[in-house]
């Protein structure tokens, strides 16, 4: 114990003589608190991010040709499934306030003004592209002033995009295998639809 007091006393004397070191010792925690407070400025008292985001689903579901195969298991509205998956997820709901919107231009303006931290836009023909195994893109708008919370939203969308890519690969592989087996086109479509539904 005396050794501890001796060391503490020596350090105190050094700090009192070196005002710069004392300022760093006392000021650095406050600076860090300020920086972290700014970075997590959207945190609420309950510990969640009070952040408005939007989902704009422009996908109208499968085309008439796809819808005809629905009985065979064709996925007919992947965009709606993506949107409902986000809206119904309790963990995401604890973090974000999600709004369903139908005007991508208006939402983009709100994000640019900082009224909303981020938005997801599901493109037209999304379902048809997934069913056909074609590449598709999910568009994300982000407010540069809310980099942390917008980045969390983007990472969630990236995770969804990875799943969609997997579904597209499944559809493409199923279509190729069915086509090479000599099935008629309508049967190929049904096989692809069933593969997409199972993957979804």
Per residue in 182-195, pLDDT (tens digit) is 777 667 667 666 76
What is the pLDDT confidence band of residue 107, given thresholds at 50, 70 and 90? very high
Instruction: Give the chain's mean pLDDT.
Output: 75
Cβ atoms of 147 and 111 within 8 Å: the answer is: no
The predicted structure's pLDDT at residue 55:
96
For the residues 174-188, what does the mean pLDDT come to? 71
Residue 116 has pLDDT above 80, yes or no: yes
What is the pLDDT confidence band of residue 29, given thresholds at 50, 70 and 90? low
The predicted structure's pLDDT at residue 39:
54
Per residue in 131-152, pLDDT (tens digit) is 776 777 889 999 988 888 888 8
Per residue in 163-172, pLDDT (tens digit) is 777 777 776 7
Helix (H, G, I), strand (E, B) or coil at 62: coil
Distance CA 41, CA 49 (A): 9
Lowest mean pLDDT segment, chosen from 77-91, 99-113, 161-175? 161-175
Rg over CA atoms, the chain: 26
Q: In what order do the strands lie in the sheet with 118-122?
A: 96-101, 51-57, 118-122, 139-142
- Residue 158: CB atoms within 10 A of its CB come to 11
- Residue 162: CB atoms within 10 A of its CB come to 9
Residue 4 has pLDDT above 70, yes or no: no
Per residue in 63-88, pLDDT (tens digit) is 544 444 443 444 568 888 889 888 98
Which residues lie across from 53 on neighbouring strands? 98, 118
């Amino acid at each position: 114990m005396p050794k501890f007091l001796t060391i503490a006393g020596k350090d105190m004397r050094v700090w009192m003589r070196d005002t710069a070191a004392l300022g760093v010792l006392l000021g650095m925690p406050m600076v860090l608190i300020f920086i972290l407070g700014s970075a997590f400025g959207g945190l609420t008292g309950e510990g969640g991010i009070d952040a408005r985001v939007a989902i704009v689903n422009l996908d109208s579901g499968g085309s008439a040709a796809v819808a005809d195969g629905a009985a065979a298991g064709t996925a007919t509205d992947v965009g709606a499934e993506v949107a409902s998956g986000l809206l119904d997820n309790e963990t995401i709901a604890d973090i974000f306030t999600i709004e369903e919107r139908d005007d991508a231009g208006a939402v983009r303006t709100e994000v640019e003004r900082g009224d909303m931290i981020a938005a997801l836009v599901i493109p037209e023909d999304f379902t048809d592209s997934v069913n056909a195994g074609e590449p598709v893109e999910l568009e994300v708008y982000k407010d540069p002033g809310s980099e942390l919370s917008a980045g969390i939203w983007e990472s969630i969308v990236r995770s969804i995009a990875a799943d969609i890519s997997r579904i597209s690969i499944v559809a493409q592989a199923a279509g190729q295998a069915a086509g090479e087996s000599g099935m008629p086109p309508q049967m190929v479509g049904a096989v692809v639809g069933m593969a997409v539904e199972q993957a979804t």
